Amino acid sequence: MLIRVLKSKLHMATVTQTELTYHGSITVDADLMEAAGLIPYEQVLIGNCSTGQRGETYVIKGKPGSGAMQLNGAMARLAQPGDRIIVLAFAFADPQEAAGIKPRIAVLDQHNKIVEQWEG
């Protein structure tokens, strides 16, 4: 049996832009992706801290150091620029393997700068 466990989290990211006519996804600053252990095209769950709405999409690498957190396509309906969101990625593992997984977590300020970072 496999269970789904948290592997990556960007906590309290601020939406910088939305682009409804784009093909979909979330564009994330490459440095923030690295900090959380996200890879391009990885599936993520996004939760809007203001509304409680959630949606799933995939990650596109943004310009390093840009602070980009852009919701694209249908995801652009999930939040407005300035909204705070949580970006989560999960992995499937057997229970033994899952016990040793330490998620990479980055807490961000209102400008998408890392204020806390840790594993597990």
pLDDT in the model for residue 120 = 81
Interval 49-74 mean pLDDT: 97
Beta bridge partners of 5: 91
Percent of the chain with pLDDT over 70: 100
pLDDT bin (cut points 50, 70, 90) of residue 117 is very high
What gap in Å lies between CA 98 and CA 103, rounded to an integer? 10
DSSP 95: H
- Over the stretch 14-36, which tens digit does the pLDDT of each residue have? 999 999 999 889 999 999 999 99
E strand segments, 1-120 = 3-14, 17-19, 25-29, 43-48, 54-62, 69-72, 84-93, 104-108, 114-119
User: Does residue 56 register a pLDDT over 90?
Assistant: yes
pLDDT in the model for residue 57 = 98
* Closest C-alpha to 108, from 68, 71, 76: 68
Structural domains of the chain ordered from first start: 3-119 (2.40.40.20)
Cβ-contact 5, 89 below 8 angstroms: no
Taking the CA atoms of residue 109, residue 40, residue 59 and residue 98 in that order, the dihedral angle to the nearest 10 degrees is -80
Write down the mean pLDDT value for the chain: 97
Residues belonging to the active site: 25, 58
- Over the stretch 100-115, which tens digit does the pLDDT of each residue have? 999 999 999 999 999 9
pLDDT in the model for residue 100 = 95
